Structure 1
Amino acid sequence: MKKIAIALAVSCAFISSSALAWGNDGHRAVGAIADKLLKGTAAQKKIQALLLPGETLESIANWADCVKGTYCGPQSPEMIAYVAANPKHSEYHYTDVPYQLNKYHDHAVGTADEDIVQTLKECIAVLQGKDGAAVNPHKFTPRQALILLVHLTGDIHQPLHVGAAFVGKDGKFVVPTKQSEIDGINIFDARGGNNFLLDDGKLTQMSDGVIPPGEPKPVKEGVPAALTKPFHSYWDTTVVDYAMRRLSTKTPEQFAQAVIDSKPNVNVNTGLVSTWPYQWADDALVVSKEAYKDVTTGAVTEKVSKSGEKYSTWSLEVPQNYPVPSSQIAKEQLTKGGYHLAALLKTILS
């Protein structure tokens, strides 16, 4: 479970892609959907009691990513205290279950005691009023639990934050059965897709004509355009951009309203709320199979990070029509995230 740590060591490009799962707009869209669905409910009143004046679920949705650096602005005292108390906070955002599997199981390959499923369980318990080392080992406050719950519910619906790809020495996808098999010799960890590189020019050609044009991207003088895009970054931000464009929406709030107006048929979680993160992880594994469908690895490149650590990257080929199904998946997963978040908070706080 070193995906984020290694990615940060590798390059600045990996910093941005690892840090912002679903990206700013995706997480805000999940929060905005929940805000709208919770309006006027008893749960909303309890939520507002935990938020600062002017805050909404949409506005706090990226807080848990913003604490990873200063790209959202200077760190607040609250953020600094949280990071100091949670040195492994970057590991709360994902789990690494081989995407070919069907279920998340505690202590199975790719899972960890501080992964996204376990952290969500902890946040749920805290908001239920439970406490103590057994259920709240990180000593989250109710406000921290709410902030994390909003963000991690978005994260767990991003398929690459649950379904991980591992590569054999022949360049083919493999399924490790034990953590010790992922040795960097016979089986390699692709770091949540960060070490898979897409040709950015080919992506642009694929999207032209099938994805409505978006706003021109600002050009930074002296900064050369990237020739490749990490697969994780594609699923964090590119597919969200495509999904919003296909709905003719420009803001997370507009996207949220368009989704709600469409009256989506979202699956309802059942059983104890403490089991819902497991249900979400299992659903994400189903979706991750679609994310990796007909995707193939190409040339491998051996690299050395600034810290001297050796790692491998692989070129990645996706089907020609990939922008269409992947953006549809993004729309569906963001919708699920918002509806599931609202349902969870209603259940806990009503």
Structure 2
Amino acid sequence: MKKLACVLALASVFAATNAHAWGNDGHRAVGAIADKLLKGTNAQKQLAAILFPGESLESIANWADCVKGNYCGPQTPEMVGYVEANPKHGTYHYTDVPYQHSHYEDGAPGAFEDDIVQTLKQAIAVLQGKADKDPSLNPHKFTKRQALMLLVHMTGDIHQPLHVGAAYVGKDGKFTIPKTHHDIDTVNIFDSRGGNNFLLDEGKVAAMDAAHIPGQPRPVKEGVPKALTKPFHSYWDTTVVDYAMRRSSTRTPDQFAQYVIDSKPVVAANSGEPTTWPYQWANDALAQSKLAYANVVPGPFQQQVSKKGETYYTWSLEVPQDYPVPSSALARTQLIKGGYNLAAVLTAIWP
């Protein structure tokens, strides 16, 4: 039991510090969809003036995650400068609104001043040129290039349901809804850290994969020990993207993007001024997070202590036996929305 507790603790800590919405392939797919939709437009011409030669929306889609460490390669001077100027950049990627809610509201429980909605608002204002006239719209002093790279990545992030809709657990072990920030006190209400502290049994996940998803899963990298558990957030970052691509008979982001374009999906149009669109995207993600948590049940919890001496809790998580089917369908829909909404906002900025 001690060995299992150690594995659970390590898995949770790793997930909490390295969670990337959609993973590499998912973000590249969002960028690739937008690249294809923008061909021949004025927006494409404007993008070319900001991007370096050879870059595309697909190729820069993971930049905002790559700045978190060296897993994409050595940090460039551009990355180092961004991180030094934005010490809280990790918080830009998500918000933690209780998934039972229907709307994101400024200052409400789970929302904060440096969350994904606020970051997207700033990035859009910078690219519109509004921040040049009103610096208060750009408190982090993003350059246009930084704003573009953040917009591309965060538009993907905000369409990942768990990056908006968060689950909180009461002391009775059931999902609950905090009414204020102070309610999340690790005594009566516990934070699941965006689902990172919910752990799926890896063996059960593999069995569900084999039973419901065509094709072969991506091979595990050599030298990486096989995990006993998979954080629920990680499942939504990467596993469902692999499922969505396999169910679409595609294996690469570009192939998936072309599959999407050829299928001519109907994506609801955004309304109003573009800086309000992140609110609309967050509200949609909240609706989808309810589907992501449908019939999902937290099990017994375990108290853990991080390397920094901080106490936190993890829960085993049970999902329906056919969960890969609805989760992969939802992931495919959200990836499509991400790509189409990214193209739409860039077109609105540069008609």
Give the TM bin, normalised by the shorter chain: over 0.9
C-alpha displacement of 1:12: 2.8
C-alpha displacement of 1:9: 11
Native 8 Å contact 2:11 2:231 kept in 1: no
Aligned counterpart, 1:30: 30
Instruction: Within 5 Å, give how 1:237-256 maps onto structure 2.
Output: 237-256=238-257
- Cα distance 1:97–1:8, how it changes in 2: closer, same or farther (>3 A)? farther
Amino acid across the alignment from 1:62: N
Aligned counterpart, 1:257: 258
C-alpha displacement of 1:130: 1.6
Question: What SS does structure 2 have at the residue aligned with 1:226?
Answer: coil
TM-score (structure 1 length as normaliser) = 0.95
Cα distance between partner residues in 2 of 1:190 and 1:158: 16
Aligned counterpart, 2:57: 57
C-alpha displacement of 1:14: 3.7
Aligned counterpart, 2:4: none
Amino acid across the alignment from 1:326: S
Native 8 Å contact 1:10 1:305 kept in 2: no
C-alpha displacement of 1:133: 3.3
Cα distance between partner residues in 1 of 2:304 and 2:185: 17
Moved more, 207-216 or 36-45: 207-216
The equivalent position to 2:158 in structure 1, one of 156, 159, 164, is 156
Q: Cα deviations across residues 60-89 of structure 1 (Å, max 9, x unaligned)?
A: 000000000000000000000000000000
Amino acid across the alignment from 1:289: K
| Alignment partner of 1:213 is 2:215 | yes
Native 8 Å contact 2:11 2:229 kept in 1: no
Native 8 Å contact 1:9 1:305 kept in 2: no
Cα distance between partner residues in 2 of 1:317 and 1:215: 21
Q: Cα deviations across residues 102-142 of structure 1 (Å, max 9, x unaligned)?
A: 00011111101110000100001000102243100000011
Aligned counterpart, 1:73: 73
Identity %: 68
Q: Cα deviations across residues 255-293 of structure 1 (Å, max 9, x unaligned)?
A: 000011000011111111111000000000000000000
C-alpha displacement of 1:207: 1.7
- Cα distance 1:98–1:32, how it changes in 2: closer, same or farther (>3 A)? same
Amino acid across the alignment from 1:347: A
Aligned counterpart, 1:174: 176
- Cα distance 1:216–1:196, how it changes in 2: closer, same or farther (>3 A)? closer
- Cα distance 1:305–1:129, how it changes in 2: closer, same or farther (>3 A)? same
Cα distance between partner residues in 1 of 2:218 and 2:24: 18
Cα distance between partner residues in 1 of 2:252 and 2:25: 7
Amino acid across the alignment from 1:201: G
Q: Cα deviations across residues 183-227 of structure 1 (Å, max 9, x unaligned)?
A: 001000000000000001101111213201225514533x43101
Amino acid across the alignment from 2:93: H
Aligned counterpart, 2:14: 12
Cα distance between partner residues in 1 of 2:104 and 2:218: 40
Question: What SS does structure 1 have at the residue aligned with 2:135?
Answer: coil
Native 8 Å contact 1:8 1:14 kept in 2: no
Native 8 Å contact 2:98 2:177 kept in 1: yes
Instruction: Within 5 Å, give how 1:285-300 maps onto structure 2.
Output: 285-300=286-301
Instruction: Within 5 Å, give how 1:75-154 maps onto structure 2.
Output: 75-131=75-131, 132-154=134-156
Gaps of 5+ in 1: 1-6
Amino acid across the alignment from 1:183: D
RMSD of Structure 2 on Structure 1 (CA): 1.4
Amino acid across the alignment from 2:65: D
C-alpha displacement of 1:324: 0.3
TM-score (structure 2 length as normaliser) = 0.95
Native 8 Å contact 1:9 1:307 kept in 2: no
C-alpha displacement of 1:15: 3.2
| Alignment partner of 1:184 is 2:186 | yes
Aligned counterpart, 1:349: 350
Native 8 Å contact 2:12 2:314 kept in 1: no
Cα distance between partner residues in 1 of 2:233 and 2:153: 17
Native 8 Å contact 1:35 1:56 kept in 2: yes
Question: What SS does structure 1 have at the residue aligned with 2:212?
Answer: coil
Q: Cα deviations across residues 271-328 of structure 1 (Å, max 9, x unaligned)?
A: 1111100000000000000000000010111111111111100000001110000000
- Cα distance 1:38–1:219, how it changes in 2: closer, same or farther (>3 A)? closer
Aligned counterpart, 2:282: 281
Cα distance between partner residues in 2 of 1:344 and 1:284: 17
